[in-house]
Each structure stands twice: as structure tokens, then as C-alpha cells.
């Protein structure tokens, strides 16, 4: 494998070493910008130029950098997948000698659903507000997330914790849409209800209500 951005190259190498046997010897190029016509010398520049800071910052109301090498890690995974795909193609007779990707292309792939919504020409208006996004925090300081796919479980969970019913109703839509919008402005009474109990209680209630 040829050298590229350090994190991406390391991730790709780790992915390929974990496979049984040895993949076909192929040149694998990973750079920062690829076909993106911008000077992108590092992870921070890629996150800023390719929309990751914008999406991650929605909950705060301003662009925010992800505190990990997210785009670089994705690029490493893509590179490993490219090597595997090319190896399979060569086994079937294709004449391939190299694969390539970039950290910027990986970053754009990661925000594709948000790009699609932002550039559609239909009448749909996506609504969201900054603030209040999980993770939640329990009384004993445990940070955690909830997952529930049906309103009945959502209602039962909060009812068991004695949360305000109006806040429960208002919080369902932004919670349900948080992956689509990258924001979840949940009413403060919901956060407060969880701050007033230990995580052990939260986990017990969640198990009981199917959350």
C-alpha cells in the first residue's frame, strides 16, 4: 500500500491485516482532496469543506469539528473495501493494478443524505432546531443514548419516570427525526427527568418498557 494520510492508511492496513489470507497485491492511493477542487491539507480542513462540521454543529447552532479523525477513518475503510473489490475483479479476469480514494470523498459520502435533502427541488422543508440533543446524563453521571422506534415505547418509558406528558409529546418528533436532521431539540423536562435518577434505574425502566 502506498502512503497517504496517516490515519486513513493505518485504518486500511489494519482492516486488510484482519482478513484471512493475503489480498491481491495492489497499489492503493489515498490522498486528502481527491477530485475536490480545494486545498485540503488535513482532517479539519476536510470536515469544514465537506459539510461534516455543518452537520455535527446543528445541535449547537454553529459549525463544530468532530473531535476524532472521522473522515480519515472512513477513507481507510473505503480504501480497504476498494482493495477487496479490485481483488475480486482480478480473480474474475479484470486487469486492475491499483485503487484510489481520498479523505474528502469519504467525508462527502458520510453526509450524502444531508446533501440530498439540501439540494432537492421538491417542496419539502426540513424543520429542526438547535439545542438539547442527547446523550442524556443520569444522576450518577453516566452519559447514555436512548433508542426506541415506536411511540408506545416512548410514552411508557417516560410515564414510568414521571416525566411531564406535554414534554413527552413535544419531544417525540425531534427525537424520531434526529438521524435525518442531525439535531434533536428535546424539551428540558425530559433531560431533567433522567438527571434525577441513577443509570441503573434508567436501564431497568428501559428494559421494562422495551426501550
Q: How confident is the model over 95-119, as pLDDT tens digits?
A: 999 999 999 999 999 999 989 888 8
Q: What are the pLDDT digits (tens) for 47-99?
A: 999 999 999 998 888 999 999 999 999 999 999 999 999 999 999 999 999 99
pLDDT of res. 21: 75
Q: What are the pLDDT digits (tens) for 153-198?
A: 999 999 999 999 999 999 999 999 888 888 889 999 999 999 999 9
Is residue 24 pLDDT above 80, yes or no? no
pLDDT higher for 21 or 111? 111
pLDDT of res. 45: 97
- Confidence class of residue 127 from pLDDT cuts 50, 70 and 90? confident
Give the contacts of 37 (CB within 8 A, at least 6 positions apart). none
pLDDT higher for 46 or 2? 46
Please give the full DSSP string across the chain, using - where no structure is assigned.
Answer: ----SHHHHHHHHHHHHTSSS-----EEEEESSTT--S---SHHHHHHHTTHHHHHTTTTTS----SS-HHHHHHHHHHHHHHHHHHHHHHTT----EEEEEHHHHHHHHTHHHHHHHH--SS-------S-PSPEE-TT--EE----SSHHHHHHHHHHTT--HHHHHHHHHHHHTHHHHS-----HHHHHHHHTS-HHHHHHHHHHHT-
Helices 103-110 and 112-119: crossing angle in degrees, nearest 10, is: 60
C-alpha span between 116 and 151 (Å, rounded): 27
pLDDT of res. 124: 75
Q: Are 8 and 34 in contact (CB under 8 A)?
A: no
Domains and CATH numbers, the chain: 6-119 (3.40.50.10540), 136-209 (no CATH)
Is residue 22 pLDDT above 80, yes or no? no
pLDDT of res. 126: 74
Which whole number is the average pLDDT over 116-123?
85
pLDDT of res. 118: 83
- Confidence class of residue 139 from pLDDT cuts 50, 70 and 90? very high
pLDDT higher for 19 or 1? 19
Amino acid at each position: 500500500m502506498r502512503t497517504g494520510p496517516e490515519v486513513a492508511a493505518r485504518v486500511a492496513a489494519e482492516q486488510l491485516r484482519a482478513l484471512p489470507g493475503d489480498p491481491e497485491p495492489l497499489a492503493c492511493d489515498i490522498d486528502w482532496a481527491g477530485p475536490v477542487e480545494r486545498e485540503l491539507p488535513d482532517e479539519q480542513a476536510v470536515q469544514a469543506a465537506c459539510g461534516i462540521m455543518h452537520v455535527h454543529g446543528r445541535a449547537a447552532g454553529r459549525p463544530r469539528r468532530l473531535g476524532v479523525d472521522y473522515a480519515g477513518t472512513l477513507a481507510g475503510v473505503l480504501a480497504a473495501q476498494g482493495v477487496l473489490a479490485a481483488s475480486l475483479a482480478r480473480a474474475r479476469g479484470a486487469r486492475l493494478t491499483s485503487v484510489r480514494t481520498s479523505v474528502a470523498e469519504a467525508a462527502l459520502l458520510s453526509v450524502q443524505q444531508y446533501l440530498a435533502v439540501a439540494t432537492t427541488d421538491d417542496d419539502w422543508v426540513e424543520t429542526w432546531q438547535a439545542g438539547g440533543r442527547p446523550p442524556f446524563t443520569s444522576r450518577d453521571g453516566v452519559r447514555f443514548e436512548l433508542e426506541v422506534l415506536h411511540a408506545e415505547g416512548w410514552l411508557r418509558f417516560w410515564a414510568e419516570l414521571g416525566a411531564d406528558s406535554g414534554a413527552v409529546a413535544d419531544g417525540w418528533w425531534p427525537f424520531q427525526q434526529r438521524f435525518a436532521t442531525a439535531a434533536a431539540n428535546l424539551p428540558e423536562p425530559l433531560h431533567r427527568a433522567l438527571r434525577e435518577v441513577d443509570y441503573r434505574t434508567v436501564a431497568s425502566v428501559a428494559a421494562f418498557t422495551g426501550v
